[in-house]
């Protein structure tokens, strides 16, 4: 059994909070940038709102 402190962690690209590895991210841990679905959605909306029309 691994302890949570032994798992790899990253900083969220949107909220800059640390988050740790989850089993569902095992296949694409290198591509994971956001800690949650909410951060992913908000980052997309901020990016599209900043674009000039």
Q: What is the mean pLDDT of residues 10-35?
A: 94
- Position 53 pLDDT exceeds 60: no
pTM for this model (two decimals): 0.74
| 35 neighbors 15 (Cβ within 8 angstroms) | yes
Q: How many residues does the chain have?
A: 53
What is the pLDDT, as a whole number, of residue 50?
63
Q: How far apart are CA 49 and CA 41, in angstroms?
A: 12
What is the pLDDT, as a whole number, of residue 42?
93
Q: Which two three-digit tokens encode residue 19?
A: 């988050």
Backbone angles phi and psi of 22, in degrees to 5: -125, 150
Q: Which two three-digit tokens encode residue 28?
A: 């694409």
Backbone angles phi and psi of 47, in degrees to 5: -65, -40
């Amino acid at each position: 059994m691994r302890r949570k402190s032994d798992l790899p962690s990253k900083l969220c690209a949107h909220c800059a909070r640390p988050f740790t590895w989850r089993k569902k991210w095992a296949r694409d841990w290198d591509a994971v940038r956001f800690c949650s679905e909410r951060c992913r959605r908000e980052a997309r909306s901020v990016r599209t709102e900043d674009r000039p029309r």
